[in-house]
């Protein structure tokens, strides 16, 4: 037998097999139009139109179209919706009779529509169904399963048509505008470093001698501190402030004179050592430091601690306090004061004020790594802006600014904005709550709460900011509205 004849026989054989109806139903004849899937609260509604215009179906056949929701994450979560049945004329009569007799139709579920197909005629079916919403439906597809029947009780899967790979659109991703404030540039950057030195003096003398006890090491430390400032070409010393203090033993008037003379001796040393004009010095002798003594006693474990504190608080005459202190525990407490708590009170505090030149961005990027306090808020802001917003360097600069300028609303607001950029909402809100009465911070508070999901708070702060004419807040309020509409 020739090959061509064998092929003809095979085709003829299949055409005579019961169920060969599958060759007569064209799935390409099913067209889905006007598809809509909408989530409202805890319900999901599905609707679409089924165009049958191109569908050809034999009189005895039946096509069952079943919409199926399937999870895109797994094969377990799925829901078959109620089907649509499209029947040829003879099959329609059989199905109609079953309905009249209240017999179960040979399909799964209860058909939402039973349609008699008029071949070669324009025909469509509107489908709508509502089901309880489940979490997995946030990422689910919708397919239309085609099953075909050519006899009373047989049913065969013809195919599955994907209608949409994700029934719900991606949640609206708002783009909120953050407020950053550019700090004003300092006309003159002034800094002041404060230090303490405890020099040794001969009893009742005020000459500052390098060779007396351990004064050499202490003066070496002073030389290093002041020299670093004096020799730095970026700095110019403008003022020295020197404060001298004495311990309480002896007469108060004498101790005040001693403290002042010793402070002046230190000033004279700095004048000669660093060739600084004496006119740049402000020198004050404070005398006996009873306040310092009280703080030291309060945190000590000295015997008669409360009695010592009572004497300091209740005896107004400084010289009278000495006499009362000597009475405690037979003089033992006073000896402890003399040996342990009085020596640190005999000190000289000094502050060096100086101006710092301005730095360009490249210089400032290096300075912030070594001595950030030399930078102004404006310079720090410009350094931050030289880095990508998502970088650690960007947020790190604003963190340094907030630490060095803790009372600056601008530093707090900008560092909070950087926290928001870094997804640290709690940290940002904690910072901004310190200045929550400042209208300039309201927009950023709104952004932080919006990104936290607290939309009521977000709306509250955006609305307040809009009331102050904040255009960023107005745009953010519109973004928030879109988020809420797409929930």
DSSP line for 182-227:
-PPPPSSEEEEEEEEE-----TT-----TTSTTHHHHHHHHHHHHH
Residues in the chain: 487
pLDDT value for 124: 94
Whether 179 is covered by a domain: the verdict is: no
- pLDDT value at residue 28: 55
What percentage of the chain exceeds 70 in pLDDT?
Answer: 93
Residues of the chain with pLDDT under 50: 1-26
Is 332 found in the same domain as 193? Answer: yes
Instruction: Give the pLDDT score at 439.
Output: 94
pLDDT value at residue 19: 34
| CATH number of the domain that residue 410 is part of | 1.25.40.10
Name 367's bridge partners. Answer: none
Q: Is residue 364 part of a domain?
A: no
Q: For residue 372, what pLDDT is reported?
A: 96
Residues 88-116: pLDDT tens digits? 999 989 888 888 888 888 888 889 999 99
pLDDT of residue 27: 52
Q: Which residues in 284-319 are b (16+ Cβ under 10 Å) and which e?
A: ebbbbbbebbeebbeeeebebeebbeebbeeeeebe
In three-state secondary structure terms, 174 is coil
Q: What is the largest CA-CA distance in the chain?
A: 139
Q: What does the pLDDT read at residue 4?
A: 37
pLDDT of residue 11: 31
Q: pLDDT by residue (tens digit) across 47-75?
A: 999 999 999 999 999 999 999 999 999 87
What pLDDT does residue 293 have? 97
| Inside any domain, residue 176 | no
The pLDDT score that the predictor gives to residue 110 is 87
The domain of 237 spans 189-354
* Distance set, CA 479 to CA 318, 410, 486 (Å): 68, 25, 11
* pLDDT given for residue 154 in this prediction: 64
**What is the per-residue pLDDT for 334?**
96
Write phi, then psi, for 114 (nearest 5 degrees).
Answer: -120, 110
Can you tell me the distance from the alpha carbon of 85 to that of 30, in angstroms, rounded to the nearest whole number?
Answer: 13
**144 and 51 assigned to the same domain:** yes
Same domain, 257 and 343: yes
Q: Which of 375, 343, 370 is nearest to 360 (CA)?
A: 375
Residue 75 is predicted with a pLDDT of 78
Question: pLDDT at position 17, please?
Answer: 32
Q: 471: which residues sit within 8 A by CB, 6+ positions away?
A: none
| Residue at which a domain ends, from 131, 164, 197 | 164
């Amino acid at each position: 037998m020739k090959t061509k004849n064998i092929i003809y026989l095979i085709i003829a054989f299949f055409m005579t097999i019961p169920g060969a109806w599958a060759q007569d139903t064209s799935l390409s004849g099913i067209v889905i139009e006007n598809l809509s899937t909408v989530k409202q609260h805890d319900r999901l509604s599905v609707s679409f139109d089924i165009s049958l215009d191109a569908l050809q179906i034999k009189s005895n056949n039946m096509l069952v179209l079943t919409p199926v929701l399937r999870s895109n994450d797994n094969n377990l979560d799925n829901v078959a919706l109620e089907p649509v049945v499209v029947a040829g004329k003879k099959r329609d009569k059989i199905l109609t009779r079953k309905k009249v007799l209240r017999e179960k139709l040979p399909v799964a579920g209860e058909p939402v529509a039973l349609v008699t197909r008029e071949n070669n005629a324009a025909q469509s079916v509107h489908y709508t169904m509502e089901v309880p919403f489940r979490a997995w439906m946030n990422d689910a597809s919708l397919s239309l399963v085609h099953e075909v029947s050519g006899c009373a009780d047989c049913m065969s899967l013809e195919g599955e048509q994907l209608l949409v790979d994700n029934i719900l659109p991606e949640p609206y991703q708002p783009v909120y505008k953050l407020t950053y404030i550019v700090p004003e540039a300092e006309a003159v950057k002034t800094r002041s470093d404060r230090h303490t030195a405890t020099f040794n003096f001969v009893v009742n003398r005020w000459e500052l001698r390098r060779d007396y006890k351990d004064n050499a090491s202490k003066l070496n430390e002073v030389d290093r501190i002041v020299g670093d400032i004096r020799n730095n070409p970026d700095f110019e010393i403008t003022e020295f402030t020197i404060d001298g203090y004495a311990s309480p033993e002896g007469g108060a008037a004498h101790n005040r004179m001693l403290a002042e003379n010793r402070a002046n001796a230190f000033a004279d040393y700095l004048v000669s050592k660093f060739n600084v004009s004496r006119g740049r010095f402000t020198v004050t002798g404070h005398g006996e430091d009873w306040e310092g003594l009280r703080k030291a006693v309060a945190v000590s474990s000295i015997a008669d601690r409360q009695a010592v504190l009572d004497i300091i608080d209740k005896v107004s005459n400084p010289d009278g306090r000495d006499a009362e202190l000597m009475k405690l525990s037979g003089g033992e407490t006073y000896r402890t004061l003399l040996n342990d708590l009085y020596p640190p009170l005999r000190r000289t505090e000094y502050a060096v004020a100086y101006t710092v030149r301005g730095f360009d961005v490249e210089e400032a990027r290096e300075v912030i790594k070594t001595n950030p306090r030399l930078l102004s808020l404006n310079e720090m802001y410009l350094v931050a802006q030289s880095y990508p917003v998502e970088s650690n360097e960007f947020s790190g600069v604003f963190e340094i600014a907030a630490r060095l300028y803790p009372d600056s609303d601008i530093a707090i607001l900008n560092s909070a904005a950087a926290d928001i950029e870094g997804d640290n909402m709690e940290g940002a809100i904690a910072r901004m709550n310190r200045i929550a009465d400042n209208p300039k911070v309201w927009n950023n508070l709104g952004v932080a709460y919006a990104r936290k999901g607290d939309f009521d708070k977000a709306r509250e702060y955006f609305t307040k900011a809009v009331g102050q004419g904040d255009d960023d807040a107005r745009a953010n309020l519109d973004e928030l509205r879109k988020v809420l509409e797409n929930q």
